[in-house]
Structure 1
């Protein structure tokens, strides 16, 4: 095998001799010795190219074709550089070696021949003076021969390394035989030097030997577009391997016999890095200078990484001039090998839904493999995959199966053929209702802060409570504070006009809101209109549900208590008033044991033209909902996300398995709201009957044209839609009546929803439908799961129409207050959206007991209907 250090450090001069290399190299230096002949080695000086470091062998890439076929599948891009390249110790870029290049090491030995004469030069070159002496670096390149008498001419011929070369006798000039080893790793860089010296007497010196490269170096690198895989062998066939080198004329005479040269590799190649080495320095082909013939071939054995298919690619290397002392670099590209990967996981029969009991078995249909095509020859190979799980909507992923999976045995082994894999999800755990009296009490709890602390985080017009204690509400207009900051967009939009979409909302005096804090607002001409004076209970479902309602000493908070002996589900309205007993603002307090169940249900809207999906999370209970049945167990919906990854390619596929929620239908009722207003009204059932206190009573009368009167009179149902003609009362960004594709809502200070929720957009209930028009032009609801009649009240449960979004959502049929402010249609359900259908009408969903649904029902704005809020954070 070739000595690796020899190849890496070809022709390196000893540092102490470098300075001498710049002098006249034919001078015999003074040398103190015992008259033995010694040498210094000088690297051949090669003129550097003036324009660029390499020359292109030919303009077009060399074509490598397989077995003589015409289809090109591999390319070689050839370039040629002056000098023989080798790796420097400092790992810097490989550079053609010239005299100016710093030399670090040399061959440690070379062989010398020499003939001597005094008069006529012999006709046959004979090594009569030195016949193949090996000179060693360890002996300072000194021989055991002594200098002859003055007047003697000596012709030195040296080569390195010191083996593999045979002197050809009886030639007129020094001629040597050399045969290139067939295995590349046994080849080496052959150097020759000739020097003629005439002994002139005196003290002789070291003989300078100027070595030159007499072979051609061939290297291989990867082009940037090479296919990923492994090159296991490169062979150059039909190259002349032996010949005779005339050291005096620096010329080769080659025999006609040809051989194959090869190097065994295990080199992985990857696309992207141009000129990445394929052959290491010690794997460089060192060949005799020649012009390749018609039968010269290159052969590359390549195994692609996708299918592990091994292919042999051959191509002619015709008429390539392998010049002496040059380096040729071939860039290999195999970009025309066609590689394809196939990866597919999907639900069989598109079913990905199980009920809360987990009775259904889900089946996955899949395959994962690669295919490489070469001249119509297709090879297929399985590609392994892995699966990860998420139970929090993709926030976190784990390779460990979650507890909700009852049976799933993924192997992760690829397959060319279609396979099936069963998935079984276990029963959804039952959530038992916690009685209100069992919840621990709170003290001085700030309802605008999630922990009850002093800092105001988020305000609203509705606060949900599920435990006893003392509470406080900051005096802020609706959701005027959001995430601890002034939420000006809830009451001001300068882009609006003053007729259909008002730019700034009103206080109870009709002045525009300029500050979210009620006690800071400039709300009237009289000082008494500006300052809170007291706080009162306006209405409640029980006389003692809310107690001790009062204004805080700092006049910045409303205080009240809920005592353990009286705590029960119910609703109340509390208000802050000025000195004239005029209500400045009011809030809805909703006491419910179902708080822990809220915000669990996902609703998905699919745009039927673009297939764009928008996800909403429903509160799952209409505002103010109450039921006499509290002994229930709720099973909420769950989703399991599966992320399949094809390991070799990194391709991923996401699938979701959905488990239905279940809440048993039960008799109950919710509060009702007029369009654009924040205060609720009772429905007919005694379980939710609001009673009024402190001189207030439910009334029906016109509010004229002023929104401010509806603020002052939360107990009055207006029998006119005139005060609510503005289109942006529940969506501050809204400006027109085109609501069909409206998916966003900018929550306003008049929104009746609790913290983090808002009245839904007009298109939200469209997800319940398959678009099937009836004779009257209405959209027929065809996905009604079921409804039940309990005590003359119909209870509705819905299932998404697209069969992939899984939820059941509960809408009680609590009727509506009609345009005459009379409660009617109690066997039907009516639910507002945030968007209008015009100045006098708003968009709503209507449920009728046929069963029948209209999701874009235009209801007059003075009607009072239910509200099913959704979370403000919408996923798109």
Structure 2
């Protein structure tokens, strides 16, 4: 006979009865003894279909009988508890040393139980027990009242058996003599008073074969054994006081001849009281809670829907699990085991979940972020080995400022080696990968300029956006050949002459320049008489070459090998004019197309002519953080860790072109531009002149005009450093102007119809002197608020580049920004006891550098009631607004 471990011995019931004595199951039990005459009655040899390991027993029931099912337990502290039901063939004969009436009957304990069984016999051809009826067989195998088998009475007998035999306390057989036995079974509601019910039903036996032999009786179990077992993780420190099965059928009849149950209708509660020796759940998985006399022997049945198991602990807690309905059955001759497991064994558990990292702060270029996770649980104070607890990263959070957190995997996390682990007392290593969001933006921009697809053919810059539109500045973003027409500024717009750009609708006055001039008075868009073209100045030698006049166009080449951010001044000349031979000039600004990618009424994104000297740093300006939340998958315990990736401060510096207010031609500090060398004023003044002189005389156009330090007249135009101020009425060429010397200044050099200076009510009309690219213009002062208010989502970079001194061509006040508007205003008078301002001044936006951010203000910091103003001779930057 096969055996199990010492605690759970599953043995098939093989009960041998020889010589009228039931003996232990050995190899000799099955051997035939020598024939001998029996004088004292019929003897029996008992076997059991479970005489092998139950796992090897043939499954004789429908497949659905053996299906497993799991049900959640309900009640206080029942979170995670579940009841798993399994069914095996046979009634498991578990060995216990002191069997009682409720112990499963086996060959090992049959004799010790001292319970006789009842035998019935039916004569050949009969359908009722009419030869033997409810005769008792002693545990030693002898009949209590011996009966001899007489062949004359019947040559064949069919036997039925019931164990245990009926007595006063066990009225199993209620049928009368002359009928087949029917077992009325109503197990005691006190489980400890129940018994194991065995039945047998033999084939007919011939007298001649068995008169001197033991009659073989094969017992089987007629009930369903119900066991309760400790499952996985049910090892918290509770003690089971009582197990109850409620609302199940409590009685039935079993017809031995047909092997069929007829189930009653009365529902009962069956109770196993363990209060005298409570069962501790802090034991090994697989331990039986109710073995021995605690086995439930239940009437096989379709389990009612309302049936449930109730377990009461010594602590007073109870848990409940529904076991009925949905086709669930107790089947005769099987063992139903209810295993209680706890998927969330939190009671009396010490849960450990830690995240450790050698460091938590990383430089912007340190992308590998290692950390370890340790995750396990222990039964508190039990001394048991720790249990590995699987874990998962359940949440990512990120913060750009260290205060506000956003849930979701951030873009700064490029990869995670694994987002989960098996857990254990040994730490599991993981690596998160940060993105390196450091950029050398200057190098990237210039690489993009160099890599840009070279222009095909010769591109007319005045037609790149559709109908022809000319300007004093053209933006180029790729190498190749280009051209532009010899036209005064924006004198052609939408493919037609734009006369309003060089003719005011207001009559000439001390503030209105009625006729605009180039080398001569402008009466048409086109510049004539030019016999040469050349680079007058460049920030990058040889970036532009092959400058020439082709018909009415200027052509030039931008060389790919020299491509970078740059500015180039190209002029057309007329040799017969001698030293003053420049007819007009244009600014070629080589930069990214992104610079002018903005919306109507918003600013371009960098100042005119800007080129970077430095531009590098991380895409984020403040240290950024990522926070991981790790959760033990089974228990829900969490732990968090934060990592910081430091920012590399954005360094963005550069140079741009400077302009005197109202002039179209840019200036550049120190000796960078050849036009800035000292020139000769044909009228003997150490200052600039009217526009037509400035254009014809590049030395004059590029020079500042400074006020006469010997002129002390308050209110005189020359006292405020206005490069356009004049104090004579007749020019040498016979052109007559006005004779008003005081406060003489032009309001409309960039805005044709500006007749008031500040806050001109008229629509803006861009002039031929506007230095902006096509589609852009110099802004009015109040329009600068659009930069501060977001610039339509496309940030405008307004670096602090100081102001160009009108005295020595050097930059002063480099920590501040100065950006011209198109407007002028008369000085407000006295600002303080030591400061007085006279005459007209150009209005500009003023900003203070704060890292890489500059917010432009429109008022004087020392006098917030007055707009910011500066003398027009000073060189300030221009950032244009889109028309």
Q: TM-score, normalised by structure 2?
A: 0.32
Work out which of the two has the higher radius of gyration on C-alpha atoms and give 1 or 2: 2
Q: TM-score, normalised by structure 1?
A: 0.32
